């Protein structure tokens, strides 16, 4: 059987045990071959089903398209934002505000959460590699790096719009 299987693409052997009811030892079928037709006829003679392969999975003709989201900011727009820096908190004084830094980048994609945008920050002037920054839309449509400031600004803008209506 092993030599046959190595030479052929299809090989089979039967090991069906035929019970004996007259006290004799059971008969074991010891037939092997490499022909598919012989295999089918031999197994039908025993009343057995032939081997089959697993059915192929039927795939859809095309993958369903996800709806495209409109960019929250015009595509590839140059964006500038200000990052505020604060000193360490001190009792009686609080956080002193230090100098603000201006950052510039280009819109890359909508963020994972609502009201977020991913921007590629341009840091070539500082000799540093560019990086991705998440910015948040505030109530005025401006992009800010602080999510809590943006959230409170949106909340205030919604409150004012509701009062005006």
Residue 126, Cβ density class (10 Å: 0-12 exposed, 13-18 middle, ≥19 buried) = exposed
Task: State the pLDDT at residue 8.
Answer: 59
Q: Are residues 39 and 98 in the same domain?
A: no
Domain assignment of residue 9, given as a range: 2-46
3 state DSSP class of 147: helix
Domain membership of residue 94 (yes or no) is yes
pLDDT in tens, 81-116: 888 888 888 888 888 888 888 999 998 888 888 889
**Among 54, 52, 42, 37, residue whose Cα is nearest residue 15:** 42
- Count of the separate structural domains present in the chain: 2
Q: What angle do CA 5, 9, 13 make, to 5 degrees?
A: 45
Task: State the pLDDT at residue 51.
Answer: 76
**Among 16, 10, 17, residue whose Cα is nearest residue 39:** 10
Q: Are residues 115 and 158 in the same domain?
A: yes
Domain membership of residue 98 (yes or no) is yes
Q: Which two tokens stand for residue 4?
A: 């046959």
pLDDT in tens, 110-126: 888 888 999 999 988 88
* Alpha helix ranges (H) inside 8-139: 36-46
Task: State the pLDDT at residue 52.
Answer: 75
Task: State the pLDDT at residue 129.
Answer: 92
Q: Are residues 23 and 95 in the same domain?
A: no
Q: Are residues 153 and 86 in the same domain?
A: yes
Regions of the chain with pLDDT less than 50: 1-2, 4-5
30/42 Cα distance (integer angstroms)? 11
Query: To which H or E segment does residue 162 belong?
Result: helix 147-164
Stated pTM of the model: 0.53
Domain membership of residue 95 (yes or no) is yes
């Amino acid at each position: 059987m092993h030599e046959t299987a190595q030479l052929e693409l299809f090989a089979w052997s039967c090991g069906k045990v035929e019970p004996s009811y007259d006290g004799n030892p059971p008969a074991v079928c010891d037939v092997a071959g490499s022909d598919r037709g012989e295999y089918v006829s031999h197994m039908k003679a025993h009343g057995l089903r032939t081997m089959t392969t697993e059915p192929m999975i039927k795939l859809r003709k095309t993958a369903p398209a996800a709806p495209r989201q409109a960019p929250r900011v015009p595509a590839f727009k140059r964006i500038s934002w200000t990052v505020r820096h604060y000193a360490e908190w001190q009792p009686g004084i609080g956080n002193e505000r230090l100098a603000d830094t201006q950052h510039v980048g280009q819109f890359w994609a909508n963020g994972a959460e609502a009201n977020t945008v991913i921007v590629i920050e341009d840091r070539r002037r500082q000799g540093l590699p560019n990086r991705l920054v998440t910015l948040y839309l505030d109530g005025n449509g401006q992009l800010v790096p602080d999510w809590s400031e943006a959230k409170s600004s949106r909340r205030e803008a919604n409150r004012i719009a509701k009062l005006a209506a």
